[in-house]
């Protein structure tokens, strides 16, 4: 197993009485106070993938999204400038824009407060009857926005960490397996739910220790052996690389092509980027909490110009099979950790180094928060 830079992201092993290679406490997967801390300290301050740039390609186009639970609206103004706003009316807090489309102004459906595409309040019915009403102080709150090839990212934090260096690293990782992200085109979106805490969904994604057991179709395409499967991590990006098998069972979809390996990435805290071997493809997913024991998200798929529709349908069927298998796994983990039978588990760092890095990220982010109870020792 090649661990690359993953070890640098994991805190040095502690003595067993201090945790050693223990997992996060299992209470952290069912405690509402922990979830509150995670949402406030990990998710809301972070950049989030919002949607495809194709939805805001023309002046006046917009789409509504959420950024770790905060409604946002992304717009291309009449001058062609990409903007993002917190999509909450300054009057009574209604969500202003929904869906996607084209408009000249953003109009709240509740009381018709209306905003220019730059967020400025331009109409507030009956406000002239109110002495001292100052609409200039009631613009939509701004959000940060980045357009990266076919993808749009948004941050609602007033001072988010720079995203550019991580995206540069991701672009390099994509290029190494034959993907140039600027040439990808949006194909479609699917929404999904899971019967597991948001962390369990991502932890499952971050290791392929289970692949040979639970994903025979995946293992027929990719080399999942410790000698072949590669892990690396730095700059908030945790990455797998799975070489294409050179022999063995016939693959379940046409895996030969310009994309030479599977590559699977987590951009912390909760975005994933999937590439399967074959024709140019990318699936971008966002995983969000839906209470303590469930999660939800969406996946946007992108393909290269002129990719064969047969490849698209076969590869998506391949992905759907793997995802269904994973859903059974994570639901079973949630049942186990939620039972209270154990305080924590143990990790094998050689195979689960990225998972350990993710857990250390969570531990450092929320472990000192007073809402988070210290772990009890595992039986």
Q: Quick one: which H or E segment has residue 265?
A: strand 261-267
Contact 97, 80 (CB under 8 A): no
**Fold classified for 54-152:** Rieske Iron-sulfur Protein (2.102.10)
Q: State the pTM of this model.
A: 0.92
Residue ranges matching CATH 3.90.380.10 in the chain? 6-45+162-366
Q: Look up the CATH number of domain 6-45+162-366.
A: 3.90.380.10
| Ranges for all domains in the chain classified under CATH 2.102.10.10 | 54-152
pLDDT in tens, the chain (379 residues): 333 333 344 444 443 444 448 999 999 999 999 999 999 999 999 999 999 999 999 999 999 999 999 999 999 999 999 999 999 999 999 999 999 999 999 999 999 999 999 999 999 999 999 999 999 999 999 999 999 999 999 999 999 999 999 999 999 999 999 999 999 999 999 999 999 999 999 999 999 999 989 998 898 888 888 888 899 998 899 999 999 887 655 678 889 999 999 999 999 999 999 999 999 999 999 999 999 999 999 999 999 999 999 999 999 999 999 999 999 999 999 999 999 999 999 999 989 999 999 999 999 999 888 889 765 544 4
β-bridge pairing 151-155 and 48-52:
antiparallel
Residues 6+ apart with CB under 8 A from 116: 105, 106, 122
**What CA–CA distance (Å, rounded) separates 300 from 272?**
11
Cβ atoms of residues 47 and 284 within 8 Å: no
Tokens of 118: 């730059």
């Amino acid at each position: 197993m090649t661990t690359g830079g993953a070890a640098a992201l994991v805190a040095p092993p502690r003595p067993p009485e201090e945790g050693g290679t223990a997992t996060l406490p299992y209470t952290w997967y069912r405690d509402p106070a922990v979830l509150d801390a995670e949402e406030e300290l990990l998710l809301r301050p972070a950049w989030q993938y919002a949607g495809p740039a194709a939805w805001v390609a023309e002046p006046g186009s917009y789409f509504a999204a959420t950024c770790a639970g905060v409604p946002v609206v992304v717009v291309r103004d009449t001058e062609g400038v990409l903007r993002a706003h917190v999509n909450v009316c300054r009057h009574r807090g209604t969500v202003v824009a929904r869906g996607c489309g084209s408009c000249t102004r953003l109009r709240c459906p509740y009381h018709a407060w209306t905003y220019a595409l730059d967020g400025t309040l331009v109409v507030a019915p009956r406000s002239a009857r109110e002495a001292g009403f100052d609409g200039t102080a009631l613009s939509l709150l701004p959000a940060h926005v980045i357009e990266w090839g076919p993808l749009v990212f948004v941050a609602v934090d007033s001072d988010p960490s720079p995203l550019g260096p991580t995206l540069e690293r991701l672009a390099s990782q994509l290029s190494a397996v034959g993907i140039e992200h600027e040439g990808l085109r949006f194909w479609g979106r699917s929404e999904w739910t899971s019967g597991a805490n948001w962390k369990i969904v991502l932890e499952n994604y971050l290791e392929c220790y289970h692949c040979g057991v639970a994903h025979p179709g995946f293992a027929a395409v990719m080399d999942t052996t410790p000698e072949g499967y590669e892990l690396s991590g730095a700059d908030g990006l945790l990455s797998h690389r799975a070489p294409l098998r050179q022999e063995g069972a016939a693959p379940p979809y046409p895996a030969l092509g310009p994309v030479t390996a599977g590559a699977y990435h987590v951009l912390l805290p909760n975005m994933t980027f999937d590439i399967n071997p074959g024709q140019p493809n990318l699936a971008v997913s966002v995983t969000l909490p839906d209470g303590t024991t469930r999660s939800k998200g969406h996946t946007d798929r992108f393909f290269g110009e002129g990719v064969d529709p047969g490849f698209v349908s076969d590869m998506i069927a391949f992905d759907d099979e793997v995802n269904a298998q994973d859903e059974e796994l994570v639901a079973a983990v949630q049942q186990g950790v939620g039972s209270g039978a154990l305080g924590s588990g143990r990790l094998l760092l050689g195979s689960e180094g990225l998972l350990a890095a993710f857990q250390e990220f969570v531990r450092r982010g929320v472990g000192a928060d007073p809402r988070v109870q210290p772990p009890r020792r595992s039986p």
